[in-house]
Amino acid sequence: MQIQAAVVRAPHAPMSFETLELDALRDNEILVRLVATGVCHTDIAMRDQAFPVPQPIVLGHEGAGIVEAVGRSVTKVRPGDPVVMSYNSCGHCGSCQAHAPSYCHDFFGANFAGQRPDGSTPLSSGGEPVHGNFFGQSSFATYSVCTERNIVKVPADAPLELLGPLACGIQTGAGAIIHALRPAVGQSLAVFGAGSVGLAAVMAARAIGVTTIIAVDLVASRLDMARELGATHVINPGHMPDTVQQIRAITGAGVDCSFETTGVMKVLRQAVEALAPRGRCGFVGAAPVGTELTLDVMDLMTQGKTLRGIVEGDANSEVFIPAMIELHRQGRFPFDRLITFYPFDQLNQAIADSEAGRVIKPVVRMP
């Protein structure tokens, strides 16, 4: 069948809107008609080759839509079901078997290779292969194919066009707090970077009873939003350059947990230095391949600090996405406040606005 898709053909170049051919479904595949797709920093990083994904490729990995058709072996969903598509995983490695699919042993192959496990791609243009299957979906398109591994059925009355960001960015921020760092009620947290991931962390921290929540960012409007969503303190390093000192002035010994979202190594070091003894720092920022971090080893060791990477918020999407939808329904997780909608054909503008800090979480609506 023919679909409309945004194709990346060169690093740093605008995506081109093209008519592509989508293969017939295989037995294990699911056809989804997209309603809306979130724009994530990972899409921008992959466009610009921070990680060498193949090109031409259709990106997009926060897709929400309606199931149109299913292959013969599919039992999880059926046509007409509203769904969200999240990250992909193999299903049979040690991590997947241990219910930790975000640490799938083939995470990069399953999500960034731009092809099915057998090396094929479901997309083509005039006979030329176009890489698809990005995060098991390539959802910057009017239609997408995925599998049971990365599809989540959502309630019929849920606001479907809002839900795509739950698949990655929002899931990553909220899950990092709830599943990975796990601050206790009454503890403290510093969030470095108040974009969609950082603000999801702020909302999650408030929801679980963290009482001191410090947001750090250079953009004043994002700090204002952080306060509205639950931050008790905000720090703008442009106005108060010694961020670690500022955090210690607020907390005394430092924070129990810190969460770094920017991918800037200077900031990640600050997030570690701002910890109290036995504090825990998690980071998700997508730094270029080969980036190295320098730390004071004596500080890390003698203070009993922990530093760990976090992928997709340690979340099992099948469980966590419905939980976030329910928290939103209860008014305890207002992630909709982060979203700005664009028509699909304004995707490049949405990306530009995101890069410039004019919006927090762009979502493109399909025609």
Total domains in the fold of the chain: 2
Determine the pLDDT at residue 173.
98
Comparing CA positions, the residue from 350, 347, 359 lying closest to residue 8 is: 347
Domain identity same for 234 and 140 = no
Average pLDDT, the chain: 96
User: Is the pLDDT score of 286 beyond 80?
Assistant: no
CB atoms within 10 A of CB 233: 19
Q: Quick check: is 318 in a domain?
A: no
Domain identity same for 58 and 115 = yes
- For position 279, which CATH number holds? 3.40.50.720
Determine the pLDDT at residue 287.
82
Q: Quick check: is 329 in a domain?
A: no
Determine the pLDDT at residue 288.
81
Comparing CA positions, the residue from 6, 3, 1 lying closest to residue 364 is: 6
Determine the pLDDT at residue 205.
98
Q: Quick check: is 353 in a domain?
A: yes
User: Is the pLDDT score of 240 beyond 90?
Assistant: no
Contact by Cβ (8 Å): 171, 328? no
* CA atoms of 63 and 143, how far apart (whole Å): 10
Angle between the 243-251 and 265-273 helix axes, to the nearest 10 degrees?
Answer: 30
Contact by Cβ (8 Å): 258, 303? no
Contact by Cβ (8 Å): 191, 213? yes
Domain identity same for 129 and 224 = no
Domain identity same for 70 and 197 = no
Q: Quick check: is 95 in a domain?
A: yes
Domain identity same for 206 and 240 = yes
* CA atoms of 231 and 189, how far apart (whole Å): 9
Domain that holds residue 208: 172-311
Which strand ranges, in their side-by-side order, compose the sheet holding 306-309?
233-235, 212-216, 188-192, 255-260, 275-283, 306-309
Q: Quick check: is 327 in a domain?
A: no
Domain identity same for 151 and 25 = yes
Determine the pLDDT at residue 147.
98
Question: Region 12-29: what's the mean pLDDT?
Answer: 97
Domain identity same for 84 and 130 = yes
Q: In which band, very low, low, confident or very high, does the pLDDT at 52 lie, cut at 50, 70 and 90? A: confident
Domain identity same for 152 and 180 = no
Domain identity same for 40 and 163 = yes
| Residue whose tokens read 């929801």 | 207
* CA atoms of 124 and 140, how far apart (whole Å): 15
Comparing CA positions, the residue from 314, 214, 261 lying closest to residue 42 is: 261
321-344 pLDDT tens trace:
999 999 999 999 999 999 999 999
Domain identity same for 154 and 177 = no
User: Is the pLDDT score of 161 beyond 80?
Assistant: yes
Q: In which band, very low, low, confident or very high, does the pLDDT at 285 lie, cut at 50, 70 and 90? A: confident
Q: In which band, very low, low, confident or very high, does the pLDDT at 54 lie, cut at 50, 70 and 90? A: very high
Q: Quick check: is 220 in a domain?
A: yes
Domain identity same for 91 and 69 = yes
Q: Quick check: is 316 in a domain?
A: no
Q: Give the strand pairing for 143-147 and 29-38.
A: antiparallel
Domain identity same for 159 and 219 = no
- For position 33, which CATH number holds? 3.90.180.10
Cβ-based burial of 258 (10 A; exposed 0-12, middle 13-18, buried ≥19): buried
Determine the pLDDT at residue 241.
81
Q: Quick check: is 319 in a domain?
A: no
**pTM of the entire structure?**
0.95
